[in-house]
Structure 1
Amino acid sequence: MATEYGQGYGLGSGSGHAGDPGARRHLLPAWLRAPFEGRSWREYGYVLLSLPLGVLFFTYAVTMVSLGAGLLVTFLGVPVLAAGLAGCRGLGALERARARALLGLRVDEPEPLRVRKPGAMAWMGAVLKSGASWRSLLYAVVQFPWAVFSFCVAVTFWSVGWTMLTYPLWFWVFPAYAGQDGIQLYGDGTHQVYLDNPFEVTVTALAGLLVTLATPWIVRALTAVDGLLVYGLLGPSPLATRVVELESDRGVVVDTAAADLRRIERDLHDGAQARLVGLAMDLGLAKEKLREDPHAAARMVDDAHGEVKTALQELRDLARGIHPAVLTDRGLDAALSSVASRCTVPVTVTVDLTERPAAAIEGIAYFTVSELLQNVSKHARAASAAVDVWRAEDRLLLQVVDNGVGGARVSPGSGLAGLAERLGAVDGVLVVDSPPGGPTRVTAELPWRTEPLPR
């Protein structure tokens, strides 16, 4: 395995340090500084923009869909409806960009149109059959009433809070220019209640302070709902995402199988095949010398016998690399113990399984541990290692721990990256924890599957 140990560790790590902006210590708690943070103002701006954009989206969507549906009795209805849905997809792209810029919400683009053949009719059919188009239309319809509600709530709380908070600065306006003592809370023919004395002005400012401090959190809750709408309706559907994952995994499986076949072909050609060719030539020479020089022929046959043993050992090693017989006959415990015995450092193997998983999962688990132990032998400079295998509900977990130098990472093109891709092809996960100086802990997680019962 070409896995890097002790190289470049710490780049991109998530631990906080003095230079990490996420690790800054603020003098004020979050609830006090929230009204003045840039995030709060961006969220408030998002809510303000949602209303005019919501009106635009709703008007466009309802107009185009109603017009297209009304014209379906003629041929014009199909292109009008397709154009309306295509416009909704464009508006959805605008909304994703707005959410990314103001809310920091990164939503992937939905699945692209699958146009089977060129032409306007094929394009219109793809638009009409796309689930992302109809989800964009649904977003335009649903977002409008929510935008009205969130706009009214946000503007009301924001304006009332700051108005009451700053009341001590401008309450003099009422007696000077409005002919009354202050803000009127109540009034009838005989009684009027104004906020005009110092106590009432102070209480008003304190109430405004509470409303002002609460407003960013209220707006944040409103934008959280907006984020759910954008993520759920304008992003890729779970089914489409799963299809893309399966297509990618299928490509990884095909590439892995092709690479394994090339490796087997290379090993046969450069190893056993070349040795057997040389053996055939040696036996031919020995046959020719048998009558002329029997002693020399005997020595050549003896050398050929040694070559046969070597070729057989190479073939056994190659067969073990394809699928070891001990794994088929005795399971993971015996197979992993055999792998551990060939490691250059002492390895403790613990397998806690009450039954055997499916052959495919068992094989992947075997080769995963085998590659990780090869990594320990070649790169870790460890004194000991341990392998643990157990089942947790519907998952098979493998863990390889060594006390080496650490610094292992899943970098592009490395052995761990290739191993992670192979595990991902069967819905598996690889987690590497390897701080500088060790220990290195690599955990692999595979789906638990059992062989189907014979019929």
Structure 2
Amino acid sequence: MATEYGQGYGLDSGPGFPGSTERRHRLPAALRAPVEPRTWLELTHVLLSLPISVLLFTYAVTMVSLGAGLLVTFLGIPVLAAGLAGCRGLGALERMRARGLLGLEVAEPEPLRRNRAGAMAWMGAVLKSGASWRALLYAVLHLPWAVFSFVVAVNVWVLGWALLTYPLWFWVFPVYAGEDGIQLSGDGTHRIYLDNPFEITVTALVGLLFTITSPWIVRALTMVDRLLVQGLLGPSRLASRVVELESDRGVVVDTAAADLRRIERDLHDGAQARLVALAMDLGLAKEKLQVDPQAAARMVDEAHGEVKTALQELRDLARGIHPAVLTDRGLDAALSAVASRCTVPVRVEVDLAERPAPAIEGIAYFTVSELLQNVSKHARATWAGVEVWRTENRLMLQVLDNGVGGADVSEGSGLAGLADRLDAVDGILVVDSPAGGPTRVTAELPWRGEHVR
């Protein structure tokens, strides 16, 4: 593992870190919201939603109705397929609009799956695709919501700014309308206008209240748009899970291939080379046995030492593949053995009433082993701790040290590779390592049920 600890890691990246250049706003968020670009982009999204949803609804209802009506003829299926394909294309435009105006990144839905080429195969794939029908549902459901959000947003926004700027344009009423100002109430004999300085000031303050709250109202309205786009125009949960499993399978395959290459390299450069040299030495000793017995005895004695070294290398290699102590005695004994080889004192606490599945137990062992190697090589710590416990159906691991901190989980680091390995089995790796320490790495693994040996 090659994760580096030390000064300069994680100090200058992103808001919230020491030394960050994040700009500090003098005005609170409530006062900045009406003039922020995000607010105007969200308002633009709401305003555009009405005409776009009208077009979507009209197209979807027309094509589906026409296709359904023509199902009694051979034209119904092609028309219905074309309508669904059009809904998919319009859904792609809606994802682009949400990305540009709402900053919402939504992945493309699962592609059409065709077993063969041809128009009939394409129509069948469109009709069987869940993404096509979700896009149709979006086109139908979005219209009523777009009407509601358009009416609410426009009324709140216009009312707020109109009342806020009332001191600037109230003179229009007496000059051009023959009235003293905005009329609140009145009958044939009595009328109430907002015309004196106090009433004008109160009107502007009410307008300020509406102006301040209108961005948050629009933001709440766009939250529903976000849910609609994510839920109906993005990939389904099943498709996302399939993609995730395919990615995890790739990680597992790559990890297994890397482990096999490591074992082959260790055997070739270590035990195999030593055994070849040992065979040559024994051959020379055999030749000298008759001529110079004492020299042959010395060579046999040296070969005996080489045998011991080769055996130790093979034991270390076997321990790196899967230690026997883990199989025989479980995590407590195996982690204690790992801790004894660490360069700093390590306190190990394992609180498990039973053992997890062998695969999860092995991943937990190697996770702690790599993290303790990190502590030995990079942390410059004086002590470390390992804690293992079970929470419901999850196996929890935590490795602590009082080193210099600054552990980096960025792409390409050892911790990133370890996180990928855990993710392949639905695990999680969380690193808390501020500059100056201490470092706390928490891993969470699925328990995967009881195992009887």
Report the Cα offset of residue 185 of structure 1: 4.0
Does the CA-based 8 Å contact 2:160-2:209 persist in structure 1? yes
CA shift, 1:16, in A, is: 5.6
> In 2 relative to 1, CA 208–282 (structure 1 residues): closer, same or farther, beyond 3 Å?
closer
Distance 2:30 2:452 in 1: 60
Pick closer, same or farther for the CA change 1:276–1:155 going to 2, 3 Å.
same
- The Cα of 1:247 is off from its aligned counterpart by 0.6
| Cross-structure match for 2:16 | 15
Deviation, structure 1 residue 250: 0.6
Q: CA deviation at 1:147?
A: 0.5
Q: Is the 8 A contact 1:18 1:24 kept in 2?
A: no
* Contact persistence 2:355–2:451 (CA under 8 A): no
Deviation of 1:50 after TM superposition, in Å, equals 0.6
Is residue 2:214 matched to residue 1:211?
A: no
TM-aligned CA deviation for residue 428 of structure 1: 0.9
Report the Cα offset of residue 337 of structure 1.
0.9
Other structure's SS at 2:397 match: strand
- Answer with 193-202 or 149-158: which moved more: 193-202
The farther-off stretch of 165-174 and 59-68 is 165-174
Identity of aligned residues (%): 79
Matches within 5 A, 1:141-156: 141-156=140-155
Whether 1:265 aligns to 2:292 is no
Normalising by structure 2, report the TM-score: 0.92
Please state how far the C-alpha of 1:85 moved relative to its aligned partner. Answer: 1.6
Q: Distance in 2 between matches of 1:169 and 1:290?
A: 115
Q: Which residue of 1 aligns with 2:273?
A: 274
**Cα shift at 1:192:** 4.6
Matched, 1:174 2:177: no
**Alignment-derived partner of residue 290 in structure 1:** 289
1:230/1:291 CA distance change after superposition, 3 Å? same
SS at match of 2:429: strand
Counterpart of 1:363 in structure 2 is 362
User: Is 1:437 equivalent to 2:418 in the alignment?
Assistant: no
- Pair 1:411 & 2:410 matched: yes
2:222 match: 223
Report the CA distance shift for 1:9/1:175 in structure 2 as closer, same or farther (over 3 A): closer
Partner of 2:4: 4
Deviation at 1:290, TM superposition (A): 3.0
Q: 1:422 to 1:70 in 2, by over 3 A?
A: same
Alignment CA distance shift 1:178-1:401 (3 Å): same
What's 1:97 paired with?
A: 96
| Cα deviation, residue 19, structure 1 | 5.9
- Provide the residue aligned with 1:428 in structure 2: 427
CA contact (8 A) 1:181 1:195 kept: yes
- The separation in 2 between residues aligned to 1:16 and 1:410, in whole angstroms, is 15
Alpha-carbon distance change, 284 to 85 in structure 1, aligned in 2, over 3 angstroms: same
User: Residues 67 and 76 of structure 2 are in contact (CA less than 8 Å); yes or no, is this contact kept in structure 1?
Assistant: yes
Identify which range, 185-194 or 383-392, moves more after superposition. 185-194
The amino acid of 2:128's aligned partner reads K
AA at the equivalent of 1:280: A
Does the aligned pair in 1 maintain the 2:9–2:435 contact within 8 Å? no
The 10-residue stretch of structure 1 (278-287 or 400-409) with the greater mean CA deviation from structure 2: 278-287
8 Å CA contact retained: 2:41, 2:101: yes
Cα distance in 2 for partners of 1:109, 1:160 equals: 39
Shift in CA distance, 416/35, structure 1 to aligned 2, threshold 3 Å:
closer
Residues 283-339 of structure 1, C-alpha deviations (whole Å, 9 max, x = no match): 333333333333333223222222221221111111111111111111111111111
Structure 1 residues 415 and 171: CA distance shift in structure 2, 3 A? closer
Aligned partners of 1:444, 1:40: CA distance in 2, in Å?
39
Residues 121, 220 of structure 1: alpha-carbon distance in 2 compared, 3 angstrom cutoff: same
Question: For 1:11-410, what aligned pairs fall within 5 Å after superposition?
Answer: 11-15=12-16, 20-21=21-22, 23-27=23-27, 29-188=28-187, 192-410=191-409
Give 1:99 deviation, angstroms.
1.6
The letter of the residue matching 1:9 is G
| Higher alpha-carbon deviation: 184-193 or 33-42 | 184-193
Q: Distance in 1 between matches of 2:104 and 2:307?
A: 65
What is the CA–CA distance in structure 1 between the aligned matches of 2:412 and 2:198, rounded to whole Å? 71
User: SS of the residue aligned with 1:256?
Assistant: helix
TM-score of the two chains, using structure 1 as the length reference: 0.92
CA contact (8 A) 1:356 1:450 kept: no
Deviation at 1:435, TM superposition (A): 2.4
Distance (whole Å) between structure 2 residues aligned to residue 375 and residue 45 of structure 1: 51
Partners of 2:381 and 2:432 lie apart in 1 by: 15
Residue 126 (structure 1) shift: 2.3
Q: Secondary structure at the match of 2:77?
A: helix
What's the counterpart of residue 448 of structure 1? 447
Give the paired residue count. 452
Letter in 1 for 2:98: A
3-state SS, counterpart of residue 145 of structure 1: helix
Between 406-415 and 149-158, the greater mean CA deviation after superposition = 406-415
When residues 67 and 274 of structure 1 are mapped into structure 2, their CA distance, relative to the original with a 3 A threshold, is same
Distance 1:277 1:265 in 2: 16
The runs of 5 or more residues in structure 1 that have no matched partner are none
Q: Which consecutive unaligned segments of at least 5 residues does structure 2 have?
A: none
CA–CA distance in structure 1, aligned partners of residues 436 and 192 of structure 2: 74
